[in-house]
A and B are shown apart, each in its own frame.
Chain A
Amino acid sequence: MARVFKGVLFPAAVLIFWEFAARSGLLKAESLSSPIAIFRAAVGVVADGSLFKAALETFGGAVGGLVVGATAGILVGVAFGLSRHLSQLMRVSTEALRPIPSVALIPLALLIHGYGFQMESSIVAFSCFWPLLIITESAVRGIEPRLLEVARMLNFSLRERVTKIVLPAALPRIFVGLRLAAAVSLVVAVTVEITANPMGLGYALIVAQESMRPDRVFAFIGWIGLIGWALNASLLRAQQRWFGRMGNWAEQSA
């Protein structure tokens, strides 16, 4: 109880001071608004449906990119993990591509796809590809060698080896990678929307800013934070539920 109280005290003090400062004219109300006005705006964007519509658009872009990027990352990661030679041969190529900041590809994606879901998803896919590739490769390499020996003894084909031995054994760590990539996908989707793409939560932020509505800006930031937090928390619970101790172990080794 005391712990909760202490944790709430600091943000509460900040909010009260903020409200007071905004009312007394200490802060520029046109750029920082006030907590009560922000709360009203936060309820308002739910009531008029604009939050739901924007969140759905952002989810569309994020999930589409996550699925494509993560699938590609897992496939390449499995291949690299199984064949050290392949991984070494591709090393300079991957090291040349990986440091490219995802946002640098926004103008290119815009050129190719125009505005919309595809352009946003392609940037998200690029960002989600790398964490999955790295985690999957090291997970596959860390598989108990005896399991692979068993597969050889049973004369498994490559496909059987991957679906019956490699993927199940690497799954807990791949899931950790998926969880991290899910957080990345949301961040990147919002960033793309803020920078270029006229849809979703990021664009809602920009519209609020351009119409000089700081209360709506903060309201959307609050909702974005809450959605990100909820997504992370629920994936963490799923991980604990499905993988239990294996999940904790994967968490530390990821």
Chain B
Amino acid sequence: MKKQHGVLMWFASLGVLAALVGLWQLAAHLELVSPVFFPAPLRSFESLWDQMGTADFWLAFRETLRRMVLGFVTASVAGIALGAAIGLSPRLRAYVEPTLELIRPLPASAMIPVFVLLIGLNDRMIVTAIAFSSLWPVLLNTVHGFKTIEPRLLEVARILHLSRLEMVWKIALPNALPDIFAGLRLALTVSLILAVVAEMLAGTIGLGQNITLAARSFRSADLYAGIIVLGAVGYVSNILLQRAEQHLLRWRTP
């Protein structure tokens, strides 16, 4: 009964969204809002549909996704490995942690100019900027996850005569996973943002450049279509990560 109610409410809320979009369509139709700034939703969806039939769109889509995944995966692997090393060693932590705390509040995009100077305005710069910026949330959260192991679990490990490697694999890592995933979620958001920003700056083929070009030539329907696509990328990538998290953490009691 309760579940049925939930499904019903979900459809009702879908109806609300449809009604809001319908109102917008009506407002655009009656020319109550500027067609340049708020084009009729149907025109945006039409533009989206048309774009999806072109090879250019899919090339830009693939490029952005490739950079995002490359940067995100590099950052995740490096962040988890480094974070585990730092989190497991109190001695190392004493030296490195204050520096990490100092870097934490730095805006991710602020390092882009440095990479432009070092690498130039190209694809490699974009991937480096994404990887570098997504590294910090993963690293900091992993450190936190590894340093906060329940002491009793460590005692258990000692009693069971687990080797250091077994202790890390069987006790420390599962214990740190929820924190690691919190870091990965942040890193995923950062990687999409950085991909868009760096593409806008570098002017290389990608979804970020698509919307800049659309805005520059006042093709507002194309611009909204591009924003919808970027929203969808954010939404789907987040869902995928959530699924992975649920799968890996299924042993936890909810």
CB distance from A135 to the nearest CB of B (A): 16
The one of B97, B117, B232 that contacts A214, using a Cβ cutoff of 8 Å? B117
CB pair B107–A102 under 8 Å, yes or no, is no
The one of A104, A111, A205 that contacts B218, using a Cβ cutoff of 8 Å? A111
CB pair A11–B113 under 8 Å, yes or no, is no
CB pair A228–B107 under 8 Å, yes or no, is yes
The closest CB in chain B to the CB of A3 belongs to B94
CB pair A190–B107 under 8 Å, yes or no, is yes
Q: State in angstroms the CA–CA spacing of A100 and B196 once bound together.
A: 11
Give residues 92-142 of B contacting A (CB, 8 Å): 94-99, 102-103, 105-114, 116-118
Asked whether A75 is an interface residue with its Cβ less than 8 Å from the other chain, the reply is no
The interface residues of chain A lying within 8 Å CB-to-CB of B192 are 101
Asked whether B215 is an interface residue with its Cβ less than 8 Å from the other chain, the reply is yes
Q: State in angstroms the CA–CA spacing of A9 and B96 once bound together.
A: 9
Q: State in angstroms the CA–CA spacing of A153 and B193 once bound together.
A: 49
Is the contact region of chain B dominated by helix, strand, or loop, or is it mixed?
helix
Asked whether A93 is an interface residue with its Cβ less than 8 Å from the other chain, the reply is yes
The one of A32, A187, A195, A217 that contacts B201, using a Cβ cutoff of 8 Å? A195
CB distance from A205 to the nearest CB of B (A): 5
CB pair B98–A93 under 8 Å, yes or no, is no
CB distance from A32 to the nearest CB of B (A): 7
CB pair A100–B227 under 8 Å, yes or no, is yes
CB pair A221–B111 under 8 Å, yes or no, is yes
Q: Which 7 A-B pairs have the closest CB atoms?
A: A107-B215, A7-B98, A209-B113, A99-B234, A228-B105, A100-B231, A99-B235
Residues of B at the A interface (CB closer than 8 Å) are: 9-10, 12-14, 16-17, 20, 36-37, 94-99, 102-103, 105-114, 116-118, 189, 192-193, 196-197, 200-201, 208, 211-212, 214-216, 218, 220, 223-224, 226-227, 230-232, 234-235, 238
A-B contact pairs, 20 of them (CB 8 A): A7-B94, A7-B98, A10-B96, A10-B99, A11-B99, A88-B13, A91-B13, A101-B196, A103-B197, A108-B211, A111-B36, A111-B215, A191-B193, A194-B110, A195-B197, A202-B109, A209-B113, A209-B116, A220-B110, A229-B105
